[in-house]
């Protein structure tokens, strides 16, 4: 079965792809008005086929009203994804190692936001289930600000099997849950960590929740019912990075 094409749009997203994962870019479409020497040099250096399009006749079903800036590209999502086994076998595990596992997130904007937060706070990879889970789309790429091309994205089959394997590798499993008894501000994060992020409406599935070593909640003002998935993930990953500043790459 042929892989479904995914289209990304915008100068920033394409430049990130060409700099960091050019092998995933299949073809670039530029409007005739584009005058960006750096972008054209990156396309040429990567040896990518390019074509043109008129702003009101966008390829790939991308809305003419999208903020594409005259730049659209087709990518191969499979070339962005690593298999779990190959990723795990190469992963260096230490106290400053943390991963994020998405557990049936449905909104691509949430997926993109979690990926962006993971990249911002020094996370080593984002694990994305193959089933019942929003995959990498143009919207995910856009919301991630191109971070899908910088942080390892890992395809996983059976979520609970992966969690058990990570436990065997020394990881401590943290589930994010709004009414959990353990306050995240009290956690020291003194072992390799896996953060499980649950579905927007249902949260973490029961069998997966049972595999978590700790369920964490974020203290909020009682006037606020709850934080959404993207926001709570960002807070949790920041809390972890505050305990592990070495995980943040040195700035140039």
Phi then psi dihedrals of residue 195, to 5 deg: -100, 125
Query: What's 223's domain CATH number?
Result: 3.40.1280.10
Task: Judge if 157 and 193 occupy the same domain.
Answer: yes
What is the per-residue pLDDT for 179?
Answer: 85
Cα(9)–Cα(12) distance, integer angstroms: 8
CB of 98 within 8 A of CB of 196?
no
What is the per-residue pLDDT for 82?
Answer: 95
Task: Judge if 185 and 217 occupy the same domain.
Answer: yes
Tokens of 148: 């899908």
At 136, which helix (H) or strand (E)?
Answer: none
Task: Judge if 167 and 197 occupy the same domain.
Answer: yes
Q: State whether the Cα torsion 39-40-46-51 is positive or negative.
A: positive
Task: Judge if 175 and 113 occupy the same domain.
Answer: yes
Tokens of 203: 């949260």
- Bridge-based pairing state of the strands 71-75 and 6-9: antiparallel
What is the per-residue pLDDT for 1?
Answer: 45
Write the DSSP string, 221-249: -TTS----HHHHHHHHHHHHHHH-GGGSP
Task: Judge if 165 and 99 occupy the same domain.
Answer: yes
Cα–Cα distances in Å, from 145 out to 15, 155, 162, 234? 11, 20, 28, 15
Phi then psi dihedrals of residue 210, to 5 deg: -65, -25
Q: Is residue 62 part of a domain?
A: yes
Task: Judge if 67 and 103 occupy the same domain.
Answer: no
Task: Judge if 98 and 40 occupy the same domain.
Answer: no
What is the per-residue pLDDT for 232?
Answer: 95
Domain of residue 200 covers 81-247
Average pLDDT for runs of 10 along the chain of length 252: 74 93 94 90 92 81 80 90 95 95 96 97 97 91 93 96 97 93 93 96 94 95 87 97 86 39
Q: Is residue 252 part of a domain?
A: no
Cα(93)–Cα(233) distance, integer angstroms: 21
Compute how many other C-beta atoms are within 10 angstroms of the C-beta atom of residue 184: 20
Task: Judge if 160 and 188 occupy the same domain.
Answer: yes
Tell me which residue of 227, 117, 208 sits closest to 167, measured CA to CA: 208
- Give every CB contact of residue 29 below 8 A, 6+ residues apart in sequence: 50, 51, 52, 53, 59, 71, 72, 73
The residue from 44, 77, 110 where one domain ends is 77
Q: Is residue 70 part of a domain?
A: yes
Q: Classify 78 as helix, strand or coil.
A: helix
What is the per-residue pLDDT for 144?
Answer: 94
Q: Classify 46 as helix, strand or coil.
A: helix
CB of 125 within 8 A of CB of 156?
no
What is the per-residue pLDDT for 249?
Answer: 73
């Amino acid at each position: 079965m042929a892989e479904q094409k995914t289209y990304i749009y915008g100068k920033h997203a394409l430049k990130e792809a060409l700099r960091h994962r050019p092998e995933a870019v299949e073809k670039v479409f530029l409007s005739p008005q584009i005058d960006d020497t750096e972008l054209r040099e990156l396309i040429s250096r990567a040896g990518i086929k390019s074509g043109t399009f008129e702003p009101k006749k966008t390829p790939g079903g991308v809305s003419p009203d999208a903020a594409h800036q005259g730049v659209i590209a087709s990518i191969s999502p499979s070339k962005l994804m690593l298999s779990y086994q190959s990723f795990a076998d190469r992963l260096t595990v230490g106290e400053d190692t943390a991963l994020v596992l998405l557990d049936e997130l449905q909104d691509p904007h949430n997926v993109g936001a979690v990926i962006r937060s993971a990249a911002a706070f020094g996370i080593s990879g984002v694990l994305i289930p193959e089933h019942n889970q929003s995959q990498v789309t143009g919207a995910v790429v856009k919301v991630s600000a191109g971070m899908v091309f910088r942080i390892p994205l890992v395809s996983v089959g059976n979520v609970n099997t992966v969690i058990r394997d990570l436990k065997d590798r020394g990881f401590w499993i943290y589930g994010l849950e709004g009414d959990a008894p353990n306050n995240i501000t009290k956690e020291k994060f003194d072992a390799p960590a896996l953060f499980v992020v649950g579905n927007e409406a249902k949260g973490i599935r029961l069998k997966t929740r049972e595999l978590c070593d700790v369920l964490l909640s974020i203290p909020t003002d009682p006037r606020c019912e709850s934080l959404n998935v993207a926001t709570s993930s960002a807070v949790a990953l920041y809390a972890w990075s505050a305990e592990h500043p070495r995980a943040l790459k040195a700035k140039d």
